[in-house]
Amino acid sequence: AYDSMDDLFEGLNTMGADFPIPGLELNDEFDDCITDHLMEEEDLDDCFGIGGTTVSVFPNGNSRRCGERLVILTDKLVDERGWAWAELKEFLCEYLSRCRPPVIRIQFHGSRHSMQALGLMKGSANIGAAKRFDEAVDWVNASKQMAPPILFTLDFWYGHPLRKDRLFLV
């Protein structure tokens, strides 16, 4: 888990990770704007037009638009739709069959609670991706017919709602 994208890049440099990592180059002003607006519960429309990346946001009123980046709002899926892993997995399979390419990055944004409810994160005190989510990511990126690989990130907050501590899992 990383406290910021700068920490993520530092960690990758320390590990000697091969660059470029597909999708990671999309970390830019737009990414910061989306994350900050979500954490402050502000209108995401203020962020569009930054960076030139095509973006789809889900849920968004049943739009079927494909983009280079898919932003999934996990709190809305859990609180408003009552989704769990089965529904999310079905949506992702349908979206990827329709939108790959161009999608190269899928970002999940929301609270740790909603990510646990969707089966993205472990339900324990340990911070990490759930095994079934890891397996799904591996399956998506192992398919030779569906290249390039997709970068999946979990951008979440935890703790008291007035003091949202932010972490990234890549």
Domain ranges of the chain: 23-158
DSSP H or E stretch at residue 144: none
Q: How far apart are CA 155 and CA 170, in angstroms?
A: 9
Q: What is the pLDDT of residue 39?
A: 73
Provide block-wise average pLDDT over 10 residues at a time, the chain (170 residues): 60 56 57 76 72 79 79 93 96 91 88 92 84 91 75 80 56
Nearest partner of 4 among 151, 157, 167, judged by Cα: 167
- In our burial notation (b when 16+ CB lie closer than 10 A, e otherwise), range 63-96 reads eeebbbbbbbbbbbbbeeeebeeeebbeebeebb
Q: Which residues pair with 108 in a beta bridge?
A: 72, 154
pTM of the predicted structure, to 2 decimals: 0.74
- What's the DSSP call for residue 45? G
CA distances 37 to 109, 123, 125, 128, 134, Å, are: 11, 26, 27, 24, 27
The label of the residue with tokens 């095994």 reads 131
The label of the residue with tokens 């502000």 reads 42
DSSP H or E stretch at residue 90: helix 85-99
Q: How far apart are CA 155 and CA 74, in angstroms?
A: 10
The amino acid that residue 100 corresponds to is: R
Nearest partner of 38 among 152, 115, 104, 117, judged by Cα: 115
Q: What is the pLDDT of residue 1?
A: 52
**CA-based radius of gyration for the chain:** 15
Nearest partner of 88 among 65, 66, 55, 121, judged by Cα: 121
Q: What is the pLDDT of residue 106?
A: 92
